[in-house]
Amino acid sequence: MIGIIGGSGLEDPKLLHNVRGVKIKTPFGKHTPIKKGKINGIEVAVLSRHGYKHEHSPTAVPYKANMWALKKLGCKAIIATSACGSLKEEIKPNTFSLPSQFLDRTHHRDQSYTEHGKVLHISMAEPFSAELRKILLKKCKELGYACTAETTVVTIEGPRFSTKAESKFYRLLECDLINMTTVPEVCLAKEIEIPYQVINLVTDYDCWREGTAPVSFEKVMKVMRENAEKVKKLIVETLPEIDEEFR
């Protein structure tokens, strides 16, 4: 089974066959909605990160319950989708990016399943899956999608967007992208040994770029809607190769 986080319309019954909602008991409370089914004969679990009505803020997403539930369902790899801002002129809105590194600027999120008396020290040198990234990048090129890879995404706490000073600071740190959800998802996936790769859809230039209107929630959602079909096509067409790679 392949886990897909973010939704992006992939729970559409025309696309997802034999669909049913599932609820998994976790030690970390309730997870956000998960629908299980098949896409082109491949078993998938589609998790809506923020809930169907976008009711969970980036900090309030039940990340630990979500990742635990996907593990219990038997997911052998996870593809996540996320809107992001660009911190580089050459990474333009309406393009995809596949990061290989992250910078954590969150402050209130539990990033580990470590418990008292059982401390887990996990290497995070290579947090994302090189195998998934390779498959996704190849398919982007085949589909003619503009895509960058081996980028660095900085995850901020949210739900507010950055100040201009913060945005320019992240540029000085040579970050390429900025979003609000990759941490702690990637950390938890690494800890429970599920290969994970996020597909960042670039929606804006954050607020560092002079002469360009700063990012807004409305702008982000507009670009996400405009690119939803491209995201779905990318995931659907990579599933057979991902299934084969992680079988």
50-70 burial code (b ≥16 CB/10 A, e <16) = beeeeebebeebbbbbbbbbb
Handedness of CA 155, 31, 128, 229 (dihedral sign): negative
Question: 217: left (phi > 0), else alpha (psi -120 to 50), else beta?
Answer: alpha
DSSP state of 89: T
User: Among residues 12, 110, 176, 204, which one is catalytic?
Assistant: 204
From the candidates 110, 176, 206, 243, which is the catalytic residue?
206
Torsion of CA 51, 206, 150, 123, to 10 degrees: -60
Q: Judge whether 204 counts as a catalytic residue.
A: yes
Report which DSSP code applies to 4: E
- Of 86, 10, 13, the closest CA to residue 48 belongs to 10
Is 47 in contact with 5 (CB distance < 8 Å)?
Answer: yes
Distance, C-alpha 212 to centroid of its chain: 26
Is 12 a residue of the active site?
no
* Helix/strand/coil percent split, the chain, to 5: 30, 25, 45
CA distance 222 to 217: 9
Distance separating the N- and C-terminal Cα atoms of the chain: 9
**What positions carry a catalytic annotation?**
204, 206
